[in-house]
A and B are shown apart, each in its own frame.
Chain A
Amino acid sequence: MGEENNRMIFMMIAAGLGALILICLIRAVLGPTAPDRLVAMDTTNTLVVAVLVVLGAAWNEIIYVDVAIVYAMLSFVSTLYISKYLEAAQ
């Protein structure tokens, strides 16, 4: 009973984070300049890491958190590459 309730709550949190990801996607699509889109992508990266951790908690699997750790490192690299390009382009 408690286990099922917990899973339901974590899934609802994940659905809310998914809705926030779609809002960030709207910013990335509409954003007039490249830095707007870059910030939208960076926010989406952070939200994705949060979704991965929340879903790992919902399924009660410890090993799933490792995916979030790898993702948190790699998303930084791609943001860094694009922002270095924007800096050089100015």
Chain B
Amino acid sequence: MISIVQLLILAGIVVSAFFVLRFKDLLASVISLAIMSLLLSIEFYILQAPDVAIAEAAVGAGLSTAIYVIAIKNSSRWEA
């Protein structure tokens, strides 16, 4: 039964990672990256590593999204 959940989560990781690269709007890319990192956090949790899941949630959801948004704010939002 857990393999069905895992299959859904892994499919979501692949789709969102593909769209991180494909979007021309960098803000949409950052949102897609945040979705990918939170799905990766669930995947670590399903593999029974809650400490890694906490670290991934802290870095992926909190820090890296905020830093990327600050970088976009100080440069251009659209890919040339």
Residues of A within 8 A of B (CB): 8, 11-12, 14-15, 18-19, 21-22, 25, 28-29, 34, 37-38, 40-41, 44-45, 48, 51-52, 55, 59, 63-64, 66-67, 70-71, 74-75, 77-78, 81-82, 85-86, 88-89
Q: How many residues of B contact A (CB 8 A)?
A: 39
Q: Is the interface of B mostly helix, strand, loop or mixed?
A: helix
Known: A55-B46, A89-B77; 5 extra A-B contacts, CB below 8 A, are A11-B4, A25-B12, A55-B45, A71-B61, A82-B31
Q: Is the interface of A mostly helix, strand, loop or mixed?
A: helix
What residues of chain B lie closer than 8 Å to A77, measured between beta carbons? 61-62, 66
